[in-house]
Amino acid sequence: MATVRRYMEDGRQALLQHEETGVFLNFRSGPLTDRRLRYILTKRVQEASHTLHISPHSLRHTFATHLLNEGADLRAV
């Protein structure tokens, strides 16, 4: 949470050139799209390992599983 707070206070302000409601911005001050996020994630996974297949969906699924394992309400997840 501290990293997101630091981004919102410092990094995001450097990117923000006009009024934008999205949290994460691209280098043109627009919203970071799901397509660009998938590209960034795929690139980083390929750099780390040529045998892993990780997608945004698998990350969401893993995160939801951790929430449920720690007692989160299924309807909230």
Convert the pLDDT of each residue in 17-75 to its tens digit: 555 566 777 777 778 888 888 888 888 888 887 777 777 788 889 999 999 999 999 88
What integer pLDDT is reported at residue 70 of this predicted model?
94
What integer pLDDT is reported at residue 46 of this predicted model?
83
**pLDDT tops 60 at residue 4:** yes
Place 11 in a pLDDT band, splitting at 50, 70 and 90. low
Say what the pTM is: 0.47
Spatial separation of the C-alpha atoms in residues 62 and 64, rounded to whole Å: 5
Burial letters for 50-74: b for 16+ Cβ neighbours within 10 Å, e otherwise? eeeeeeeeeeeeeeeeeeeeeeeee
Spatial separation of the C-alpha atoms in residues 69 and 34, rounded to whole Å: 27
